[in-house]
Amino acid sequence: MFRKEIKVLDCTIRDGGLMNNWHFSDEYVMAVYNACVESGIDYMEIGYKSSEKAYSRDEVGCWKFCDDKDLKRIVGDNNTDLKLSAMADIGRIEPDDIPLAADSVLHMIRVAAYVHQIDKAILLAEHCMDKGYEVTINLMAVSNIMERDLEEALADVAKSKIPIFYLVDSFGSMYCEQIERLVKKYQEYLPKKTIGVHMHNNMQLAFSNTVTGIIHNCNMLDTTFLGIGRGAGNCPLEILLTFLKNPKYRVRPILKVIQESMIDMQKEIEWGYHIPYLITGTMNQHPRSAMKWMNSKEKNDLVAFFNRMNEKMDL
Amino acid sequence: MFRKEIKVLDCTIRDGGLMNNWHFSDEYVMAVYNACVESGIDYMEIGYKSSEKAYSRDEVGCWKFCDDKDLKRIVGDNNTDLKLSAMADIGRIEPDDIPLAADSVLHMIRVAAYVHQIDKAILLAEHCMDKGYEVTINLMAVSNIMERDLEEALADVAKSKIPIFYLVDSFGSMYCEQIERLVKKYQEYLPKKTIGVHMHNNMQLAFSNTVTGIIHNCNMLDTTFLGIGRGAGNCPLEILLTFLKNPKYRVRPILKVIQESMIDMQKEIEWGYHIPYLITGTMNQHPRSAMKWMNSKEKNDLVAFFNRMNEKMDL
């Protein structure tokens, strides 16, 4: 379907990096960047902006920081229509760590926050706007927020200058009817703002929940190449492009990166549909216990993981 | 969600067999059978009823024929609540090949037909009813049928005794809005009949389209263990059970078979989401060309397959 307001954001490096601590080769990051440019994607989220105090460079790659020297090694001055984005986690960055937009190749900062951090998120996002960036706020883990708290957060966002607000299914635990209900609530509170969607694939619903968002007028759509991302991963960019059938997007460059880099990568980094991720998703739990299980020797003992999660729920 | 009219059908052996010519070990078929019994699944489709003239036993395993001697080797007299089903393809079986239900452990025959075969399908299905079976008709490839022909077929089915009629997304090419529209049309023409859904996963929509069916009152739901099936596969049984949250179903026995048999099986039989299946799905084409590509040396040359399919579409 074609709706000119729709913007597609690729977060392959940022969200995929949660699976390998952002240790991607420069060649791969460049291949993703070039494919996004050639495919007509609107935004590429290339990593996080983080404080040097929050993480050690011995543990995480440079895309956890997104210094301009690293960005420019890949994108030069980025004389393209592709806008570059970085995510900022509340508590992991100081406002002073963010340069002026005029001094950076980044166009957009997306602020990720839990509901109790929403006022801090508004403050940081407005600070970034003042520095010249486009901004969004991505409210995480909404499936675990009490309705009263959600409404208070939405009312705060409504009073802010933030133009784009995201519905995020952090645990991959929501069905189409829950997506529809929340989208309508977000729109009711934020009638003049753009709503974005960021979905996870624990129950094989990342793409279909994104379609539900599209049907209900969400216009910022998060995706990744071959669905790479934390745990079960994200909405696959290549599927979304075939759905949108918008002449400004082209799928071939995406397929080329998948065939050249990602089929082998998926053998090493096991994102995608796996039973432990289904179990945390259906139980509305953070995927971290499933990720730990997938990296353990017990990995394939699915019944044991199911039993353990059930016991945890019984507490 | 709980709705007592809902019945779940597992077609792991029947549809999965399309990937290995029904060469499953007896141990595996027995494990699937036992898990279906323990999980409270309503129907297990264990294979096809076919004429000996239609296929060679040198090429296909015994589940392409479902002789009672083979069935009884696995299920004995099947003194359980699980009903056994077999599929019959129009043109691949003679009515005389089907024994009386009283002489078989099969409870149900599902007749699969293309739209031009619908009258033959009604004749065969009513013949099976007369022999004592429950029956369904599964109309294949509905995404390629002109509306006028579909309506004529539905009017024919409406006049028949057939109690259950299936919406089948043979090519995995339909989105939720197309599912909703067709379900409503089927119900308009067949107000007193049960509508079933059989979905494929080319665009990662098999489960979500099944949910769309549930929302619109479809009550026969086809699934397979870990989504095994032709090409991209089917709606995964384990995901559907976590969604239904119906106390009569249990997911642990399914997980046990997945962990003991299917994680390794998936390395040999590559069903599931793969780009060639996405491409045929999004182009509303039969998956056979993608299956052929997946078995060729060019398998991972995704751009070449995309180009070839596009050229074919240009003809």
Helix (H/G/I), strand (E/B), else coil: B194: strand
Q: Is residue B25 part of a domain?
A: yes
Tens of pLDDT, residue by residue over B107-137, are 999 999 999 999 999 999 999 999 999 999 9
Q: Is residue B72 part of a domain?
A: yes
Q: Is residue B292 part of a domain?
A: yes
Assess whether B107 and B210 both reside in one domain.
yes
Task: List Cβ neighbours of B268 (8 Å cut-off, separation of 6 or more).
Answer: none
Q: Is residue A1 part of a domain?
A: no
Task: Select from A179, A210, A254, A255 the residue whose CB has the most chain B CBs within 10 Å, as the one to mutate to test that interface.
Answer: A255
Helix (H/G/I), strand (E/B), else coil: A145: coil
Q: What is the ipTM of this complex?
A: 0.94
Structure-token pair, residue B47? 């294979």
Distance CA A116, CA B167 (A): 46
Assess whether A180 and A292 both reside in one domain.
no
What total number of domains does chain A contain? Answer: 2
Q: Is residue B121 part of a domain?
A: yes
Assess whether A295 and A263 both reside in one domain.
no
Helices B176-189 and B147-159 cross at an angle (nearest 10°) of 40
Please state the pTM of the whole predicted model.
0.96
Distance CA B203, CA B172 (A): 7
Q: How far is B153 from chain A (nearest CA, A)?
A: 29
Structure-token pair, residue B247? 């106390």
Q: How far is B29 from chain A (nearest CA, A)?
A: 20
Determine the pLDDT at residue B85: 98
Determine the pLDDT at residue A45: 98
Distance CA A54, CA A270 (A): 26
Determine the pLDDT at residue A315: 45
- Mean per-residue pLDDT for B35-39? 98
Determine the pLDDT at residue B313: 64
For residue B264, give the chain A residue with the closest CA.
Answer: A300
**DSSP string over A69-99:** HHHHHHHTT--SSPEEEEEEETTS--GGGSP
Determine the pLDDT at residue A245: 80
Q: How far is B158 from chain A (nearest CA, A)?
A: 32
Assess whether A216 and A294 both reside in one domain.
no
Which one of B209, B239, B256 has the shortest CB-CB distance to A203? B239
Instruction: Say yes or no for a CB contact (<8 Å) between A255 and B175.
Output: no
A300 vs B contacts (CB less than 8 Å): 259, 263
Q: How far is B282 from chain A (nearest CA, A)?
A: 7
Assess whether B233 and B310 both reside in one domain.
no
Structure-token pair, residue B1? 């969600």
Assess whether B149 and B297 both reside in one domain.
no
Q: Is residue B45 part of a domain?
A: yes
Assess whether B228 and B304 both reside in one domain.
no
Determine the pLDDT at residue B314: 52
Assess whether A59 and A120 both reside in one domain.
yes
For chain A, what is the largest distance between any 2 Cα atoms, rounded to a whole number of angstroms? 55
Q: How far is B270 from chain A (nearest CA, A)?
A: 13
- Mean per-residue pLDDT for B260-265? 95
For residue B202, give the chain A residue with the closest CA.
Answer: A239
Q: Is residue B1 part of a domain?
A: no
Averaged pLDDT in 10-residue chunks for chain A of 315 residues? 90 98 98 98 98 96 98 98 98 95 98 98 98 98 97 98 98 97 98 98 98 98 98 98 92 97 93 97 95 94 94 64
Tens of pLDDT, residue by residue over B283-304, are 999 999 999 999 999 999 999 9
Tens of pLDDT, residue by residue over B48-69, are 999 999 999 999 999 999 999 9
Q: Is residue B243 part of a domain?
A: yes
Q: B227: alpha, beta or left, given left = phi > 0 and alpha = psi -120 to 50?
A: left
Backbone angles phi, psi at B4, to 5 degrees: -65, -25
Assess whether B282 and B207 both reside in one domain.
no
B211 vs A contacts (CB less than 8 Å): 175-176
Q: How far is B63 from chain A (nearest CA, A)?
A: 28
Q: How many CA atoms lie within 13 A of B154 on its CB side?
A: 23
Q: A293: alpha, beta or left, given left = phi > 0 and alpha = psi -120 to 50?
A: alpha
Determine the pLDDT at residue B229: 98
- Mean per-residue pLDDT for B80-94? 97
In this structure, what is the dihedral angle of CA atoms A118, A119, A125, A129, given to the nearest 10 degrees?
Answer: 140
B217 contacts B195 by C-beta, under 8 angstroms? yes
Assess whether B98 and B32 both reside in one domain.
yes
Instruction: Say yes or no for a CB contact (<8 Å) between B302 and A206.
Output: no
Residue B315 has pLDDT above 70, yes or no: no
- Mean per-residue pLDDT for B27-51? 98
Distances (CA, A) of A229 to A198, A232, A237, A293, A313: 11, 7, 12, 17, 26
Task: Select from A180, A246, A251, A271 the residue whose CB has the most chain B CBs within 10 Å, as the one to mutate to test that interface.
Answer: A251
Instruction: Say yes or no for a CB contact (<8 Å) between B176 and A207.
Output: no
Determine the pLDDT at residue B49: 98
Domain ranges, residue A295:
275-314
Backbone angles phi, psi at B87, to 5 degrees: -100, 145
- Mean per-residue pLDDT for B129-153? 97
Assess whether B198 and B282 both reside in one domain.
no
Task: Select from A273, A299, A305, A307 the residue whose CB has the most chain B CBs within 10 Å, as the one to mutate to test that interface.
Answer: A273
Average pLDDT, chain B: 96
- Mean per-residue pLDDT for B90-108? 96
Determine the pLDDT at residue A34: 98
A177 vs B contacts (CB less than 8 Å): 215
Determine the pLDDT at residue A288: 95
A257 contacts A27 by C-beta, under 8 angstroms? no
For residue B243, give the chain A residue with the closest CA.
Answer: A282
Task: Select from B282, B305, B307 the residue whose CB has the most chain A CBs within 10 Å, as the one to mutate to test that interface.
Answer: B282
Assess whether A145 and A292 both reside in one domain.
no
For chain B, what is the largest distance between any 2 Cα atoms, rounded to a whole number of angstroms? 55
